Amino acid sequence: MILVTGGAGYIGSHTVRRLLDDGRQVVAADNLIYGHRQAVDARAVFVHADLADKYSLQRLFATYPIEAVVHFAAFAYVGESMAEPEKYYLNNVAGSLNLLAAMRAAGVGKIVFSSSCATFGEPAYLPIDESHPQNPLNPYGRSKLAVEKILADYHRAYGLKYIALRYFNAAGAAADGSLGESHRPETHLIPLVLQALAGRDKSVKIFGNDYDTQDGTCVRDYVHVEDLAEAHRLALEKTDVFCGCLNLGTGVGASVKEIIAAAEEVTGRLCPTEYAPRRPGDPARLTADNKKAAQVLGWRPRYTDIGEIIRTAWNWETNRKY
Ligand code: UDP
């Protein structure tokens, strides 16, 4: 069986589904602080557990025949991480240490870890490849980088097999509309734009229009959540031949204004917007070099058109289940 921590979260729930479709048996663990119980596929075993609770983790490994772990469980609000770093280091770093200890005690030696392009900080060059320097700008990014380093140390010392996947901007929803993004509070651009277009929010704030980009707004690499889920499935099969970190993005960037224009085209509606100051710590441009992921995993994003990605998110937004 595969243990998916954070299995009720956005990327976690799509990955649980992908693994089940591939014929794997899955235990999805989540503390449900930000996750949604309804997001967990009924074919998975669900366990309500928190990484802070070492005893629950031990019991989990004693109860189920777990061969490998896909580890998503983490707090992921950058702004909150600046205000409450302790919360982030305890959950994201100490929680991961507890998980690794339970794995070692149970003799489980394989993990795929959910890392982030937030580990890079301000880009020195683009697109960002795996050897780009890592100088994260906030405690969230530093918590993810700390776990990457811990995994490398555990690999050297204990032979742990791991792959850390650094996502750029996860976006979109399951093509069949059954799963999607549901953060409370929502801070991400695409859902906020779609909520404004659905009439649920008044207007979208464009954070900065004086960046050195094609239209002055920030450029990000939006990668479809089902493509990310597929990368985790592939990574589970590759921990015997590769150990290390891989960047996951489409390689193509879209600006905030381009996202808004694409969403307007998909929905046939006009999005109310207003300019707002830059958000602290936002680089002008982030795009991924995905060549290594293609080479190691044989991974190629199927969604390469931002309009298509937004179409799946709009389908979810208008028929949300949770
Ligand atoms: N953004 C924006 N208005 C918002 C939310 C986000 O202009 O209400 C911008 C943000 O500055 C960034 C991009 O949209 O350049 C994507 O932000 P998001 O929070 O979705 O993801 P992040 O890049 O922070 O992971």
Atom of ligand 1 nearest to the CA of 218: 15
Q: pLDDT per residue over 257-285, tens digit each?
A: 999 999 999 999 999 999 999 998 899 99
Q: Is residue 184 included in any domain, yes or no?
A: no
CA 188 / ligand 1 centre spacing (Å): 6
Mean pLDDT of 304-318: 97
Q: Is residue 210 included in any domain, yes or no?
A: yes
**231 and 310, same domain (yes or no):** no
Q: Contact 35/184 with Cβ under 8 angstroms?
A: no
CA 28 / ligand 1 centre spacing (Å): 29
Q: Is residue 28 included in any domain, yes or no?
A: yes
Pocket of ligand 1, beta carbon within 6 A? 169, 187-189, 192, 204-207, 218, 220, 256, 279, 282
Residue 125 to residue 107: CA distance in whole angstroms = 41
Higher per-residue confidence, 321 vs 181: 181
**195 and 141, same domain (yes or no):** no
**166 and 288, same domain (yes or no):** no
Atom of ligand 1 nearest to the CA of 206: 7
Both tokens of residue 279? Answer: 């958000």
Residue 30 to residue 255: CA distance in whole angstroms = 33
Q: Is residue 178 included in any domain, yes or no?
A: no
- Domain containing residue 299: CATH number: 3.90.25.10
Residues 6+ apart with CB under 8 A from 227: 248, 299, 301, 302, 303
Q: Which of 140, 162, 167, 211 is catalytic?
A: 140
**161 and 24, same domain (yes or no):** yes
Q: pLDDT per residue over 93-147, tens digit each?
A: 999 999 999 999 999 999 999 999 999 999 999 999 999 999 999 999 999 999 9
| pLDDT at residue 7 in the model | 98
Q: Is residue 182 included in any domain, yes or no?
A: no
140 is catalytic: yes
**291 and 302, same domain (yes or no):** yes
**215 and 227, same domain (yes or no):** no
Residue nearest to atom 25 of ligand 1 (CA): 169
Residue nearest to atom 15 of ligand 1 (CA): 218
Q: Is residue 40 included in any domain, yes or no?
A: yes
Q: Contact 161/243 with Cβ under 8 angstroms?
A: yes
Q: pLDDT per residue over 8-56, tens digit each?
A: 999 999 999 999 999 999 999 999 999 999 999 999 999 999 999 999 9
Q: pLDDT per residue over 219-264, tens digit each?
A: 999 999 999 999 999 999 999 999 999 999 999 999 999 999 999 9
CA 280 / ligand 1 centre spacing (Å): 11
- Structural domain containing residue 125: 2-171+223-248
**152 and 78, same domain (yes or no):** yes
**154 and 267, same domain (yes or no):** no
**Average pLDDT across the chain, whole number:** 97
Domain count within the chain:
2
Atom of ligand 1 nearest to the CA of 118: 25
| Residue 202 exposed, middle or buried by CB count within 10 Å (0-12, 13-18, 19+) | exposed
What single-letter amino acid sits at 78?
V
- % of the chain residues with pLDDT over 90: 98
Residues 6+ apart with CB under 8 A from 259: 189, 190, 193, 222, 306, 310
**14 and 148, same domain (yes or no):** yes
Mean pLDDT of 140-167: 98
- Domain containing residue 85: CATH number: 3.40.50.720
Q: Is residue 83 included in any domain, yes or no?
A: yes
**39 and 123, same domain (yes or no):** yes
| pLDDT at residue 200 in the model | 80
CA 50 / ligand 1 centre spacing (Å): 29
Q: Is residue 176 included in any domain, yes or no?
A: no
| pLDDT at residue 202 in the model | 83
**84 and 135, same domain (yes or no):** yes
**149 and 195, same domain (yes or no):** no
Q: Under the phi-then-psi rule, with left for phi > 0, alpha for psi from -120 to 50, and beta for the rest, what region is 121? A: left
